[in-house]
């Protein structure tokens, strides 16, 4: 799931690239624009295991959103603040460089885990 703070084009590109291996959907396509974080977190949690790629660091800091996420079956990968401010091409470059690491990390952890996607490093930092 690509969150609402990232462009739908990112989700479309990743969906095409990983067709048959991963279902990649933009949050707006599934829930419409402006859905509250606690609502989509609860809905995706009810569906089962989802991996979230997000530029919404508020989820990691706001108590209600953080609690909803940490008690869910979701695993989140959040762009670092520097990466959030970067151009889409840089964001995609980092996602592609770390995609296998993201896949492996998601398989290793249980739901509610949050990680930061760095702008330069090859290591994910747990949030």
User: What would the pLDDT profile of 58-100 be if each residue is shown by its tens digit?
Assistant: 898 889 999 999 999 999 999 999 999 999 999 999 999 999 9
- Would 43 be classed as within a structural domain? yes
| Contact residues for 40 (Cβ-Cβ < 8 A; gap 6+) | 27, 30, 31
Number of domains observed in the structure of the chain: 1
- Would 3 be classed as within a structural domain? no
User: What would the pLDDT profile of 22-35 be if each residue is shown by its tens digit?
Assistant: 999 999 999 998 89
67 close to 49: Cβ distance less than 8 angstroms:
no
Is pTM, for the whole model, over 0.85? yes
- Would 1 be classed as within a structural domain? no
Given a cut of 90, whether residue 111 has pLDDT beyond it is no
- Would 65 be classed as within a structural domain? yes
- Domain containing 106: what range? 8-126
Residue 84 pLDDT: 92
The mean per-residue pLDDT over the stretch 47-65 comes to 90
- Would 50 be classed as within a structural domain? yes
């Amino acid at each position: 799931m690509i969150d609402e703070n990232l462009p739908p084009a990112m989700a479309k590109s990743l969906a095409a690239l990983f067709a048959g291996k991963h279902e990649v959907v933009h949050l707006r396509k599934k829930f419409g624009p402006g859905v509250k974080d606690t609502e989509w977190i609860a809905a995706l949690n009810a569906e089962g295991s989802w991996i979230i790629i997000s530029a919404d660091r508020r989820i990691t800091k706001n108590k209600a959103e953080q609690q909803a996420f940490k008690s869910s079956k979701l695993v989140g990968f959040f762009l670092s603040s520097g990466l959030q401010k970067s151009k889409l091409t840089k964001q995609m470059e980092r996602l592609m460089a770390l995609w296998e690491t993201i896949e492996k990390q998601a398989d290793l952890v249980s739901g509610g885990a949050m990680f930061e996607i760095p702008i330069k490093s090859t290591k994910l930092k747990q949030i």
